Amino acid sequence: MITIWHNNRCSKSRDSLNLLHEKNESIELFEYLKTPPTFDQISEVLQKLNIPAIELVRKNEAVFKTTFKDKKLTEKEWIQAFVEYPVLIERPIVIKGNRAVIGRPIENVMELLSTETK
């Protein structure tokens, strides 16, 4: 089962979803803007992505520019910010087993699909 944190308004997210359909993957769609992820869900995804929280931030979002741009937040503070403002989460996130990738570029998703689930 592949999980995709998806925003249908995002072309990159739609591209990743289309790729998963083309590859006949079993997909669990998580529309994280409609149902914001919990602190624990975000923590788990960051662990699977193997990146610090700051690398998951969409820095062009208005809320980033007005609320967070010049602040130095801890990992926990960033995760809480994602809970409160899920629009800050880079998309799409594609999860397979214990690994995850940000689907920008689409080649990240293709690489994830080609690896064995751990």
Domain range for 38 is 2-114
- State the chain's mean pLDDT as an integer: 96
* 34, containing H or E segment: none
Q: pLDDT tens-digit profile of 7-46? A: 999 999 999 999 999 999 999 999 999 999 999 999 999 9
Q: What is the pLDDT of residue 116?
A: 64
Domain harbouring 13, CATH code: 3.40.30.10
Q: pLDDT tens-digit profile of 71-83? A: 999 999 999 999 9
Counting the structural domains of the chain, the total is: 1
Q: With contact defined as beta carbons under 8 Å apart, do 92 and 60 qualify? A: no
d(CA 87, CA 42): 13
Instruction: Please identify which of the residues 1, 3, 8, 10 carries the catalytic annotation.
Output: 10
**10 noted as active-site residue:** yes
